[in-house]
Every structure is written in C-alpha cells, then in structure tokens.
C-alpha cells in the first residue's frame, strides 16, 4: 500500500504531469558492535573503505538532498558523498533503526522473522513494525512533498529500510531484509503514489 500522496504538476498546456522522485536508500557500512553505543559507534576500517566505494558509485549522480538516521554509522556512510557534492546531511530522528527489544528465548533471526510477519507485534522494550514504518514513512513523505521531482539520498539501516519499502510494496519483508548486505544501495523510483522500480546498485 502507498503512503505517499499523489504529487502532480501541470505542463505549459495545462495537462497534469506526474512527477518522478528518485530515492537512494543507502544501508550503512560495517560498524563494530559496542554495547551501549548504538547511536555513536562509527564505521570500521572496512566500513570506511566501503563508504569510499559508495561515493564512487553515486558520485556521478546529481543528488539534491541528503537525509540520514541519527546513528553515526549511517551518517558516516554517506558523508564522503555528501562532502563531494557540497551538501549538508539532514539528520532525522524518526529514521533511526527499529529497536527489536528483548526477544528472550527466540534466536535473533527468528525474532526478526516474526516481527516482519506480525506487524503489530512488539517485544518488550522494542518497537513494532507498524509503529516504526509509520514514523519513518512520515519523514519520507515530508521530503518528497517539499522536494518533488528531486533526487534524495537516505542514510539508513536494514530493518527500517525494509519497512519503508514495504510501505509501497508488501513483497519487501523478512526475506528481503535477510538478503541485504552492509552496505547496500537501492535506487527507488516513485511516480505519484506508486513505486515504479527498485534497482540494487551495490556490487
């Protein structure tokens, strides 16, 4: 289902024209886990190497806006690209990663699978898929409405990226999340309120 409202313009003849907006979802590069530093841990040496590769892959694109999760590893992953294009990165709290919470006796992968399959489920201290999707898509909607027809890079995470894509097409769920890598890049084309194309650009 689509959460983005229809965006239209009129050409010189007065005909309605649907505007194409391009989003580049960039999942963050490798970051070494450190207890208690979910927000502030940056990239590993390999992560920085991959951030340079992301800069090279997207360097020829004319990016209008850079937006990111507040987590440092997401910001660092797109910082080199933003600096090269002389753009600031707009940090949005509601693009933060979904906290899975305390899933007790379940394995990590099983907890993820169940959370993606039951959008209303929330583990203790965690956030349901429905709640996380709603707050993240509200940010995307706001940027598209304010910058229709432009190109936007979004520094993001595996869970929340999958949930945002799922808001347009429900085929994006646990299997897709499990298939993604760190980092990863998806070019997403939206026309009006429809998801037209998703292309994986990370190789």
Question: Mean per-residue pLDDT for 111-136?
Answer: 95
Q: Are 24 and 152 in contact (CB under 8 A)?
A: yes
Average pLDDT for the chain: 90
**Integer Cα distance of 120 and 138 in angstroms:** 18
The pLDDT assigned to 7 comes to 40
How does residue 142 score in pLDDT terms, banded at 50, 70 and 90?
A: very high
Number of domains in the chain: 1
- Confirm whether 1 is domain-assigned: no
The pLDDT assigned to 13 comes to 56
CATH code assigned at 108: 3.40.50.1240
> Which residue is listed with tokens 């707009």?
90
Q: Which pTM value belongs to this model? A: 0.89
Could you tell me the two tokens for 121? 């489920």
- Confirm whether 2 is domain-assigned: no
- pLDDT of 170 higher than 70: yes
How does residue 201 score in pLDDT terms, banded at 50, 70 and 90?
A: very high
- Confirm whether 18 is domain-assigned: yes
The pLDDT assigned to 14 comes to 55
Residue 148, domain extent: 8-200
pLDDT digits (tens, 9 = 90+) for 41-70: 999 999 999 999 999 999 999 999 999 999
Look at 190 and 91; give whichever has higher pLDDT: 91
**Least confident piece of the model among 5-9, 32-36, 95-99, 145-149:** 5-9
- Confirm whether 30 is domain-assigned: yes
Look at 39 and 104; give whichever has higher pLDDT: 39
- Confirm whether 38 is domain-assigned: yes
The pLDDT assigned to 16 comes to 54
- Confirm whether 190 is domain-assigned: yes
């Amino acid at each position: 289902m689509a959460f983005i409202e229809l965006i239209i313009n009129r050409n010189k003849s007065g005909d309605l024209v649907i505007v194409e907006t391009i989003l580049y979802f960039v999942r963050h590069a490798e970051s070494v886990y450190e207890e208690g530093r979910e927000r502030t841990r940056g990239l590993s040496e390999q992560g920085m190497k991959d951030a340079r590769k992301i800069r090279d892959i997207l360097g020829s694109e004319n990016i209008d806006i850079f937006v990111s999760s507040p987590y440092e590893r997401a910001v660092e992953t797109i910082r080199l690209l933003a600096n090269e294009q002389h753009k600031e990165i707009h940090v949005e709290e509601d693009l933060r990663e979904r906290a899975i919470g305390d899933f007790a006796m379940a394995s990590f992968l099983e907890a993820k699978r169940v959370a993606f399959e039951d959008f209303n489920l929330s583990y203790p201290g965690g956030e349901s898929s429905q709640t996380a999707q709603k707050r993240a898509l509200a940010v995307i909607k706001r940027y598209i409405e304010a910058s229709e027809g432009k190109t936007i890079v979004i520094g993001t995470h595996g869970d929340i990226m999958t949930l945002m894509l799922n808001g347009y097409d429900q085929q994006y769920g646990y299997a897709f999340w499990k298939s993604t890598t760190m980092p990863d890049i998806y070019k997403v084309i939206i026309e009006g309120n429809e998801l037209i194309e998703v292309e994986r650009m990370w190789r």
